[in-house]
Structure 1
Amino acid sequence: MSLKDQPVFQTVLAPDAYPRTTSAAVRYVPIIKDDVVIGYLWAATTDDAAQYVPREQAGDAALDAAVAWTRRLRWAKANGVTPLRALQHWAGESEDSRAGKVPVEAPFELPSLGALVELASAG
């Protein structure tokens, strides 16, 4: 192999994760850090998918939180927590320096994941 060859990467271990897309409606909660909404944690109403969507206007804090939420959601999946239950699992806990916090409130609902992505990219 020479330095001109493209490296081949192989995933050795990756924890299970919920599917990251859905065609169903979504329930979501805001993720707050330093009193600013930095993103949204969502789950499909069919209870089979979940993910974090960073809010575009929140900048690096929103993107940094994505790493923490990916880890948290993988933990939830590994521990048998359903996606809809994961929305409220961290509600009311004190603010994490990386992930932010989930307020204690009922989840909101939108007709599609696309509508939530649009919300996250709105100013």
Structure 2
Amino acid sequence: MAGSIQSGRVTSSLFISKLQAHPRQNHLTYVLRADGQFIKTRFIPCYLQSQPLRQRIHAQLNKGEELHALRAWLWFGSEGVIRRKQQEAQTEAARCLTLLTNCVLLWNTVYMQ
């Protein structure tokens, strides 16, 4: 498991989702869930006590939301819904949106400096 995650063949989120989807939960699922809860419990007091950490996290969240808003603005055709049934056509539409988004970001970066 660790080797597959480190080599990049499997993402940790995919591995966890597969473990949780299995009808019979095993000990590894419980251990990983408890470890995640422990990490979250340790993080919450640090988050609450540190104003700079909250500001940094808030800024990153805003960047993500602004990127989603840009993509929604660029994707005005079909109300932002991919209406293709074929996997290749869906992938092509998503890649075109990514390319267009990257072009807008590059243009803004170059011309705003």
How does the TM-score come out when normalised to structure 1? Answer: 0.27
Larger radius of gyration: 2
More helix per residue? 2
Higher relative contact order (CA 8 A, sep 6+): 1
More strand per residue? 1
How does the TM-score come out when normalised to structure 2? Answer: 0.29
